[in-house]
């Protein structure tokens, strides 16, 4: 089996496991997934918001906040799990496309310098 095939199989497994970030905290009544805290939740958890988080928290707004589509926030765990999977697929596709484009550009430039 080619290494690239193994890579895509691994990615597919990770995509399928992505809803665990929702399911496990829900199952253990743990609140949100570990490390996915915004400034408001950080204030609740530790009593203050670190300066860097406060300074940069408004710099970027996610195109799909909380990995859910608009109006799906209250539809339940199955809908949110599906949204997590779709977000993982879109994210991997975008990063893969960007890496491929960069690779093509660099190999093209490298070929031009050899001649």
**Are 15 and 87 a contacting pair, CB within 8 Å?**
no
Residues near 31 by beta carbon (within 8 Å), at least 6 away in sequence: 25, 41
User: In terms of Cα–Cα distance, which of 95, 100, 90 is closest to 18?
Assistant: 90
DSSP secondary structure code for residue 69 in this structure: -
Q: pLDDT digits over 47-85, tens only? A: 999 998 888 888 887 777 777 788 877 888 888 889 889
For the chain, domain boundaries? 14-114
Task: Answer yes or no: pTM beyond 0.75.
Answer: no
Count of residues in the chain = 115
**Are 53 and 42 a contacting pair, CB within 8 Å?**
yes
pLDDT at 47: 93
Q: pLDDT digits over 82-115, tens only? A: 988 998 999 999 999 999 999 999 998 766 666 5
């Amino acid at each position: 089996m080619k290494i690239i095939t193994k890579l895509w199989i691994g990615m597919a497994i990770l995509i399928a496991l992505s809803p665990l970030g929702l399911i496990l905290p829900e199952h253990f009544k743990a609140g949100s997934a570990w490390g996915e805290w915004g400034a408001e939740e950080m204030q609740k958890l530790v009593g203050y918001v670190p300066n860097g988080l406060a300074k940069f928290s408004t710099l970027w707004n996610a195109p799909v906040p909380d990995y859910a589509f608009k109006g799906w926030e209250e539809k339940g765990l199955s809908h949110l799990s599906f949204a997590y999977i779709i977000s993982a697929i879109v994210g991997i596709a975008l990063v893969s496309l960007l890496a491929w484009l960069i690779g093509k550009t660099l190999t093209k430039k490298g070929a031009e310098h050899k001649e």
